[in-house]
Amino acid sequence: DLRHPCSSGIDLPEISCMVASTAGEVAMSSEEMVYNVVLKQAALVNKQPSGVTRDLDVNPDIALPGTLSLLSEAYDRCGEVCAEYAKTFYLGTLLMTSERRRAIWAIYVWCRRTDELVDGPNASHITPTALDRWESRLEDLFRGRPFDMLDAALSDTVTKFPVDIQPFRDMIEGMRMDLRKSRYKNFDELYLYCYYVAGTVGLMSVPVMGIAPDSQATTESVYNAALALGIANQLTNILRDVGEDARRGRVYLPQDELAQAGLSDDDIFAGEVTIKWRNFMKNQIKRARMFFDMAENGV
The pLDDT-based confidence of 92 (bands split at 50, 70, 90) is very high
The percent of residues in the chain predicted with pLDDT above 70, rounded, is: 83
Average pLDDT score, the chain: 85
- What per-residue confidence (pLDDT) applies to 19? 39
The pLDDT-based confidence of 239 (bands split at 50, 70, 90) is very high
Contact 153, 71 (CB under 8 A): yes
The percent of residues in the chain predicted with pLDDT above 90, rounded, is: 69
The pLDDT-based confidence of 125 (bands split at 50, 70, 90) is confident
pLDDT above 60 for 12: no
- What per-residue confidence (pLDDT) applies to 108? 97
| Residue closest to 286 by CA, chosen among 32, 12, 31 | 12
Q: Write the CA distances from 92 to 115, 123, 298, integer angstroms.
A: 21, 30, 19
pLDDT above 50 for 62: no
Contact 276, 263 (CB under 8 A): yes
- What per-residue confidence (pLDDT) applies to 124? 78
Q: Which of 41-45, 137-141, 276-280 has the lowest mean pLDDT?
A: 41-45
Q: Which of 31-40, 67-76, 238-247 reaches the highest mean pLDDT?
A: 238-247
- What per-residue confidence (pLDDT) applies to 15? 42
Please, what's the b/e burial string for 130-165 (b: 16 or more CB within 10 A of its CB; e: otherwise)?
ebeebbebbebbbebbbeeebbbbbbbbbebbbbbe
The pLDDT-based confidence of 67 (bands split at 50, 70, 90) is low
Taking the C-alpha atoms of residue 138 and residue 158, their distance in angstroms, rounded to an integer, is: 11
pLDDT above 60 for 22: no
In one letter, which amino acid is 277?
W
Q: Which of 35-44, 52-61, 116-125 has the lowest mean pLDDT?
A: 52-61
Contact 79, 91 (CB under 8 A): no
Question: Does 235 or 211 have the greater pLDDT score?
Answer: 235
pLDDT digits (tens, 9 = 90+) for 162-216: 999 999 999 999 999 999 999 999 999 999 999 999 999 999 999 999 888 888 8
pLDDT above 90 for 146: yes
Give the domains, in start order, of the chain with CATH numbers.
1-52+165-299 (1.10.600.10), 53-161 (1.10.600.10)
Question: Does 1 or 120 have the greater pLDDT score?
Answer: 120
Q: Strand, coil or helix: what is 15?
A: coil
pLDDT above 70 for 26: no
pLDDT mean over 29-35: 86
- What per-residue confidence (pLDDT) applies to 27? 65
Question: Does 93 or 215 have the greater pLDDT score?
Answer: 93
Cα angle: 181, vertex 233, 84; to 5 degrees: 95
pLDDT mean over 80-86: 96
pLDDT above 90 for 123: no
